[in-house]
Structure 1
Amino acid sequence: MDDRHIQDTILWSEPVRVRVGYGFIETIRGPREALEYLNWRWPVRYGDYYAKALNECAACLQRRVPLDEVRETFILASIEAKMLG
């Protein structure tokens, strides 16, 4: 199994549900999905937690930041972007 496949399987203990714009609620299951959302689907490209979440998600995939810490930062970034209900 290569490193990329191993990285894809890193999941949070509990998913985070966000709403992009006026769309449906979407489920983010781990740092890989979170990083994809932050890079390609995030409605705002600024904010303290947005930048921190970008950095921490990438670092978590390299096993440099604890999984639960990254999840918490992603939740704070979601609140900052008004994406949580």
Structure 2
Amino acid sequence: MKVALWQVPLSITLQNGMPRRFCGPYEALDFLENEWPNHGKWYHRATRDCRAALSGILSAEVARDSFVAACGEASLGCSDVQTGFAFESANAVFRRHH
């Protein structure tokens, strides 16, 4: 498994209001597989893309975008740690890269 980190970590606001920081696809995949609140379309894509990033098939940044989209789908607050930019929807992320 490849060690992959995102250029900019993400801060997620959990359903209980607590913040949680994610630095790469390994942490995101662990959260998706063990603590995720619902399993929709973007959840499945994020899980697949995080696994692919850890295998070196996809870039870590593509997995990051998928994780952001899954957060939007699950109504979890998600922001860029460096800038504080809050992502509002899954579609905004995918317009940038896909």
Residue segments in structure 1 that go unaligned for 5+ positions in a row: none
Alignment partner of 1:54 out of 15, 40, 47: 47
CA distance in 1, matches of 2:40, 2:10: 19
Alignment partner of 1:16 out of 10, 14, 19: 10
Percent pairwise identity: 29
State the Cα distance separating 1:23 from its structure 2 match.
3.7
Larger strand proportion of the pair: 2
TM-score, normalised with respect to structure 2: 0.73
Alignment partner of 1:74 out of 64, 67, 74: 67
Range moving further from structure 2, 71-80 or 16-25: 16-25
CA distance in 1, matches of 2:63, 2:47: 9
Secondary structure at the residue paired with 1:27?
strand
CA distance in 1, matches of 2:47, 2:64: 11
CA distance in 2, matches of 1:65, 1:24: 30
Larger helix proportion of the pair: 1
What amino acid does structure 1 have at the position aligned with 2:44? A
What is the number of residues matched between the two proteins? Answer: 78
Residue segments in structure 2 that go unaligned for 5+ positions in a row: 79-98
Q: CA RMSD in A?
A: 1.3
State the Cα distance separating 1:39 from its structure 2 match.
0.5
TM-score, normalised with respect to structure 1: 0.84
